[in-house]
Structure 1
Amino acid sequence: MKITAAVVHEKSGPFRLESVELDEPREDEILVRIVGCGVCHTDLVARDQHLPVPLPAVFGHEGSGVVERVGSRVTKVQPGDHVVMSYLTCGTCPSCLKGMPSHCPSFLPLNVAGVRPDGTTTLSQNGAPVRGSFFGQSSFATYALARERNVVKVSKEVPLEILGPLGCGVQTGAGGVLNSLKPPVGSSIVVFGAGSVGMSAVLAAQAAGCAVIIAVDIQPERLRQAAQLGATHTLNPKDRNPVEEIRRITGIGADYSLECTALPQVLRQAVDCLRVGGTCGLIGVAAPGVEVALEMATLLDGRTIKGIVEGDSNPDIFIPQLIELYRQGKFPFDRLIRTYSLDQINQAVEDSEKGRVLKAIVRP
C-alpha cells in the first residue's frame, strides 16, 4: 500500500516526506495507522549513521496508533485496538523468558538493522528497497508494520496521540527509577541530565516518594522545568561543584543517581556523589570504545553501577502501569510534550536538538 513517510537519504540529511510502498502485513504482522510518534535521540543517532542503518531509511520508534489489520497468526490485538509500539525482542532467549526483554542478546539486530528478522524490507520506493522495521516499526509515517512482541494494547480512555514516547524515552527514564533502582519512600536521588529521559526519571522519583530529588543540567531553562516537575533541588555544574553540593544537600551523599548524558566525566560525578553503599544507574548510551576513569576505593565502599536499557521494563506490563499513574495524576508526562505535524518533522528535530522542547511528537 502507498503511505507517506519521512525518508532520510543521506548521512545527517533532512527528513523528506515522500510516498513509499509498505508491504501488506504478513501472517505474524500488524498494520498500525500512526496517530503520533515521539522524536528520540536514537532516531537522530541513526540519521547521523552512528547506528549503521543503511540509507535510505525511515526511522521513528515511539509510535502510537490504531490497529488497522492483523495477520492470521496474530491473537494479541485486533482491528480498532489502540496500541503503543516499543522495542522488538526475540521472545525465546533466557533474558526474554526471565521477563528481562531489554537485555535480549538480539536487541541490536532486531531493532537497528532496518529489516525484518528474515532480512527482507517492509518498505520500497520505485522498486528499490528502503530500510524500515526500525525498532520493529519505523513510525515516522502514516502507517507502520509491527509485530506482537512490540505492540502494547492500551486504554481508549487516554489521548492516544501522546502515548508513543512511553514506548522508549519515557519508559527508559521512569523505568530506570521504578524498575531498576526501586528507591524506597524517603530516599534521595540525583538525576544527571534533564532531557526527556531525565525529566521522566524526576517524575517517577516523585511518584515513588523520594524525599530529595536533585536535577543536574547545564541549561537553566531545563532546571526551571525540573523544579516545576518535582525536583526538590537543581544544580548547574557551571556554577557549583555538583559532587560537593550534593553531599552538602544530603549530608552523606545520595542514595541513588541516574546518569543520562553518556559523558564519562558526568558518570564519574554520578558515582562520586553517592553515599557508601549507594547505586548509580547508567542510562546514557555512549559510542563504542568510550571509557571512564573511576577511583577503585570508591567502588570498594560498596557503591554499585548498574547498566539500564529501556528502563529494564517489560513494556506489556510497564506501559499500562505508567498510563494508570498518569490517569491518577501521579505521572504527568504530558507536560514534557509539544506536538508537530509530520510535515514539520525537521522543525521538531531542530527544536529537540537545540533544547527548545523536551519531547517532540509528530502527528501525521
Structure 2
Amino acid sequence: MHISAAVVQEVGAPFSMADVELQEPASDEVLVQIAGVGICHTDIAVKEGHLPFQLPGVLGHEGSGTVVSVGGDVTAVAVGDHVAISFNSCGMCPRCAMGESAYCHNFLEYNFSGVRSDGTSGLTSAGTKLGANFFGQSSLATHALAHERNVVKLPSDVPVELVGPLGCGIQTGAGAVFNSLDVQPESAVVVAGAGAVGLSAVMAAVVREASSIIAVDLHESRRTLATELGATHTIDPQAGPLADQIREIVPAGVDYAIDTTAVTPVVEQLLASLGMRGMLGLIGVPADPDAVFSVGLFQPPLLGLTIRGIVEGDSDPQTFIPYLLDLHRQGKFPFDKLITTMPMAQINEAVAAQHRGEVLKVVLTP
C-alpha cells in the first residue's frame, strides 16, 4: 500500500515527507494506522549519526493507533484494536526468557538494523529499499508495520493518539524509578534533565512517596512544571556547583540520582551528590559515543555506591504500559501534561521546538 512517511535521506538531513510503498504484514506482523507518534531523542540521535541505522530510512518508535490488518500467526490483537507500540525483542534469548526484554541479546538487530529478521525492509521508495523496522515499527508515518511482541492492546477509554510516548520515553523515565532503581518511600531523589523522560521519573517518584524530589534543568519553565508535577525542589545548574546545591537540600546526600542528559560534568556532579549506598541511574544517550566520566577508584566501594545503566526503564511493555495507564486513570500519573500535538507535516519545526526547550514532548498526528 502507498503511505506517507517522514524519510531521513542521509545523516544530518532534515525529515522530508514522502510517498512510500509499505508491504503487507508478514505472519507475525501487525499493520497499524498511526494516530500519533512521539518524537524521541533517540530518533534525533539516529538522524544525526550518533546511533547506527540504515539511511535513507523511516524512524519513529513511539507510535500508537488502530490495527487495520494482522499476519496469519497473530492472535494477541485483532483488526480494530487500539494499540501502543514499544521496542522489539527476540523472545528467545536468555534475557527475554527471564522477562527482561529491554536487555534482549539481539536488541540492536531487532531495533536498529533497518530490516526484518529475514533481511527484507517492508518499505520502499521509487524502487529503493528504505531502512525500516526501527524499534520494530518505523512509525513516523501514516501506517506502520509492527510485531505481535511489541504492540500493546489498549483499553477503549484511552486517548489513543497520546499514548505512543509510553512505549519509550515516558516508560523509560518512570521505569527507572519503579523498576531499575526501585525507589523507596521517604527517600531522596534527584533527576537531572526535566524533559519528558526526567519529568516522568519525577511523577513516578511522587507515586513512590519519596520525601525529597529534586529536579534539575536549565529552563525555568521546565522547573516550574516539575514543581507542578510534584517535585519538592528545583535547581538551576547555572546557579552554582550542582553537588553543592543538592547537598544544601539533602546534606547527607541523595539516595537515588537519575541522569537524562549524558553530559559528563552533570553525571560527575550527580555522583558526588550521592549518600551512602546511593544509586546513580544513567539514561541519557551521549552525542559522543566515546564520552567518559570520572568515577574515582575508592568512592563507589567506600560508600557502597551503585552505577546502573538503564534501557527502557527495565520495563515489560505488556504489563508496564497498562500499569502507567491505570495510574493516569487515577490521576496519579498525568503524562498528558508533557505532550504537545503537532501535524506530522511540521515535523522539522517540532524537532526544532523541542531542541529549543519550548515544548517537552511533541506527538505528531498524521
| TM-score (norm: length of structure 1) | 0.98
Deviation at 1:248, TM superposition (A): 2.0
CA shift for structure 1 position 120? 0.8
Alignment check: 8 A CA contact 2:2 2:20 kept: yes
Letter in 1 for 2:298: A
Matches within 5 A, 1:319-338: 319-338=321-340
| Secondary structure in 1 matching 2:239 | coil
* Structure 2: distance between partners of 1:236 and 1:297: 29
SS in 2 for 1:178: helix
Shifted more, 175-184 versus 285-294: the winner is: 285-294
Q: Which residue of 2 aligns with 1:5?
A: 5
1:354 Cα offset (Å): 1.2
Structure 1 regions of 5+ residues with no counterpart? none
Residue in 2 aligned with 1:141? 141
Number of matched pairs: 364
Could you tell me which runs of 5 or more consecutive residues in structure 2 were left unpaired when the two chains were aligned: none
Alpha-carbon separation, structure 2, partners of 1:47 and 1:331:
31
Task: Show the counterpart of 1:258.
Answer: 258
Deviations 1:244-280 (A, max 9, x none): 1212211311011101111122111111101111111
* Residue 291 (structure 2) aligns with: 290
Task: Write the mapping of 1:1-364 to structure 2, written as runs, cut at 5 A.
Answer: 1-286=1-286, 287-300=288-301, 301-364=303-366
For 1:46 and 1:272, locate their aligned partners in 2 and report how far apart those are by CA, in whole Å: 31
Q: Secondary structure at the match of 1:238?
A: helix
**Equivalent residue of 1:46, what SS?**
helix
Q: Distance in 2 between matches of 1:292 and 1:317?
A: 34
Measured after TM superposition, the shift of residue 176 of structure 1 is 0.3
Q: Distance in 2 between matches of 1:12 and 1:362?
A: 20
**TM-score, normalization by structure 2:** 0.97
Identify the range of structure 1 (179-188 vs 317-326) with the bigger mean alpha-carbon deviation: 179-188
Deviating more after overlay: 182-191 vs 50-59: 50-59
Which stretches of structure 1, 4 residues or more, deviate above 6 A after TM superposition? none
**Which amino acid counterpart does residue 219 of structure 1 have in structure 2?**
H
Q: For residues 204-252 of structure 1, give each alpha carbon's deviation from its aligned partner in whole angstroms, at most 9, with x where no partner exists.
A: 1111111110011122221122111111101111102221121221131
Contact kept? 2:242, 2:266, Cα under 8 Å = no
Give the Cα separation in 2 of the matches to 1:183 and 1:10: 41
For 1:66 and 1:101, the matched residues in 2 are separated by: 24
Percent identical:
50
Shift of 1:68: 0.6
